[in-house]
């Protein structure tokens, strides 16, 4: 009898080709599947809550898998997984769940954090995880733009490769949390289109730099055209923090 | 006329061969000297508060240099240095000082932090900067051992390549600061011999694991023989936090 397991995963995305398994490059999904296949002695495939791009990090990615191998002691399996996986990937929790649980279709809410450093001199320990912005930013304007982007909209303009699909999503909140050397853009939504977070942050920064106006933000949304919106920010500032079911 | 400048430097030691310039490998000192030589248009050599080994990090390394080139605007020079240096090295502050200031001979007190992770599953974001200890540790015994090592002693047993030198140093404090997933050993002293911090932490961990007794700690000190003490811990957990003048 197969049993379903849910796991929470943290990873530093820097050295990998992204979450999703693909030929000719090393994905996070593939490495976890290989480790589980060795330890559970049967072919294991895992289903994540969604992809993360090359260079994007996670503290709270969630995935599930089915296995007919009984897992007798979960802490021991976690330590064995840590021994087989590169140190940039760690399975943090594992629990048996009902067979109706689905990491992707059951995800109700996701939180992404985008880390921005605004001090002129960046910290050597933060550079792999934060995007350095040199130009001054109007945080008040950015907060107003964030309000315009929150809510239920067709986010086609903020989605790469999104033509002809249902691109309506709900953003519950976009908050700015100040840090000692910059800030974190916290984005919570019911789902995110391809590159949507990085496109949204790119637009918020364009507003903060005075390159586009608050009116432009609404116009871009209504155009439903990716080419209407400013460029995306780079992947290394982004972390998938939490997936809620 | 030459003027002397003091700078505070942070670095992630992972990709370099250590602080000190040496042939056939890339040192932090060499990279900073090359960047300053380009920007100040004259050969610059810098003097650090002391070496850090390959793989050791710093948040508060201090160095000085002399230059006859007037530095008109320090923030601009810092940004230019950041552009020339790899992102793992950042000059954080620069100030003109009296010509009597000496980064090495004037150092009165140094603080090192050694980061230890004790949770079974390490965080992917912390692994380059923390040493993972799997075995249970008796923190009370370690605190008692730390008291025995504090004070003024001949630290020959805790010094690599220290034969025939004056190896008397004073440790002002060894504290254990708990973190969410382990602890940090904070060591403050008037000076540190070659690999002394890592040897001291190695001995503290040997006590914590029950491999040696508190009496052994005193015996090792009095033997004045490096071979008497347990192995050093690896460099990547160590950070030079602060140098006080």
- Within an 8 Å CB–CB cutoff, is residue B38 touching chain A? no
Place of tokens 């780079």: A234
A162 has a pLDDT exceeding 80: no
Verify whether residue A53 is a known catalytic residue.
yes
Structure confidence at residue B24 as a pLDDT band (50, 70, 90): confident
Give the per-residue pLDDT at B23.
Answer: 87
Give the per-residue pLDDT at A180.
Answer: 86
A161 has a pLDDT exceeding 90: no
Question: Cβ of B123 and A10 within 8 Å?
Answer: yes
Question: Cβ of B124 and A78 within 8 Å?
Answer: no
A129 has a pLDDT exceeding 90: yes
Measure CA A192 to chain center.
Answer: 9
ipTM of the complex: 0.84
Contacts with B89 from chain A: Cβ below 8 Å: 124
Measure CA B66 to chain center.
Answer: 24
In chain A, whose CA is at the least distance from the CA of B128?
A87
Mean pLDDT of the region B181-200: 95
pLDDT tens for each residue of A47-101: 999 999 999 999 999 999 999 999 999 999 999 999 999 999 999 999 999 999 9
Mean pLDDT of the region A101-108: 97
- Within an 8 Å CB–CB cutoff, is residue B78 touching chain A? yes
Among A12, A89, A124, the residue with its CB nearest the CB of B88 is A124
**Main-chain phi, psi angles of B103, to 5 degrees:** -60, -35
Residues 127-186 of B with CB under 8 A from A: 127, 129
- Within an 8 Å CB–CB cutoff, is residue A115 touching chain B? no
Give the per-residue pLDDT at A24.
Answer: 87
pLDDT tens for each residue of B36-65: 999 999 999 999 999 999 999 999 999 999
- Within an 8 Å CB–CB cutoff, is residue A241 touching chain B? no
Question: Cβ of B90 and A125 within 8 Å?
Answer: no
pLDDT tens for each residue of A183-227: 999 999 999 999 999 999 999 999 999 999 999 999 999 999 888
What does the alpha-carbon distance between residue A162 and residue A180 come to, in Å, rounded to a whole number? 37
Question: Cβ of B122 and A82 within 8 Å?
Answer: yes
pTM of the model as a whole: 0.89
What does the alpha-carbon distance between residue B71 and residue B78 come to, in Å, rounded to a whole number? 11
Burial of residue B35 (number of CB atoms within 10 Å: 0-12, 13-18, 19+): buried
Among A13, A115, A121, which would you mutate to test the B interface (most chain B Cβ atoms within 10 Å of its Cβ)?
A121
Give the per-residue pLDDT at A215.
Answer: 96
What does the alpha-carbon distance between residue B182 and residue A204 come to, in Å, rounded to a whole number? 38
Please report how many Cα atoms fall inside a 13 Å half-sphere around the Cα of residue B150, on the Cβ side: 14
pLDDT tens for each residue of B138-188: 999 999 999 999 999 999 999 987 777 899 999 999 999 999 889 999 999
In chain B, whose CA is at the least distance from the CA of A81?
B121
Give the per-residue pLDDT at A78.
Answer: 96
Question: Cβ of A79 and B120 within 8 Å?
Answer: yes
pLDDT tens for each residue of B114-143: 999 999 888 999 989 999 998 999 999 999
Residue A131, beta-bridge partner list? A116
A145 has a pLDDT exceeding 80: yes
Burial of residue A47 (number of CB atoms within 10 Å: 0-12, 13-18, 19+): middle
Give the per-residue pLDDT at B37.
Answer: 98
pLDDT tens for each residue of B50-109: 999 999 999 999 999 999 999 999 999 999 999 999 999 999 999 999 999 999 999 999
What does the alpha-carbon distance between residue B201 and residue B120 come to, in Å, rounded to a whole number? 20
Burial of residue A25 (number of CB atoms within 10 Å: 0-12, 13-18, 19+): exposed
What does the alpha-carbon distance between residue A82 and residue B219 come to, in Å, rounded to a whole number? 38
Give the per-residue pLDDT at B27.
Answer: 97
Place of tokens 């007190």: B109
Say which of A53, A140, A154, A216 is annotated catalytic. Answer: A53
What average pLDDT does chain A have? 95
Contacts with A88 from chain B: Cβ below 8 Å: 124, 127
Among A8, A124, A134, which would you mutate to test the B interface (most chain B Cβ atoms within 10 Å of its Cβ)?
A124
Q: What percent of chain A has pLDDT over 90?
A: 88
């Amino acid at each position: 009898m197969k049993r379903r397991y849910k796991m929470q995963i943290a990873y530093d995305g820097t050295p990998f080709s992204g979450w999703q398994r693909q030929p000719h490059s090393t994905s996070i999904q593939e490495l976890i599947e290989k480790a589980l296949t060795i330890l559970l002695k049967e072919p294991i495939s895992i289903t994540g809550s969604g992809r993360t791009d090359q260079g994007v990090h996670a503290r709270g990615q969630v995935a599930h898998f089915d296995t007919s191998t009984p897992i007798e002691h979960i802490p021991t399996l976690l330590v064995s997984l840590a021994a087989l996986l590169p140190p940039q990937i760690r399975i943090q929790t594992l629990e048996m769940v009902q067979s109706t649980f689905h990491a992707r279709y059951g995800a109700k809410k996701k939180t992404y954090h985008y880390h921005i450093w605004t001090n002129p001199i960046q910290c050597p320990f933060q550079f792999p995880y934060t995007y350095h912005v040199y130009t001054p930013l109007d945080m008040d304007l950015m907060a107003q733009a964030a309000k315009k982007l929150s809510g239920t909209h067709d986010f086609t303009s903020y989605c790469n490769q999104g033509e002809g699909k249902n691109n309506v999503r709900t953003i519950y909140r976009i908050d700015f949390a100040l840090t000692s050397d910059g800030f974190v853009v916290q984005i919570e939504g019911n789902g995110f289109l391809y590159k949507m977070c990085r496109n949204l942050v790119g637009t918020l920064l364009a507003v903060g730099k005075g390159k586009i106006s608050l009116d432009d933000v609404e116009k871009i949304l209504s155009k439903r055209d990716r080419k209407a919106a400013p460029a995306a920010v780079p992947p290394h500032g982004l972390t998938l923090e939490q997936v809620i079911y």
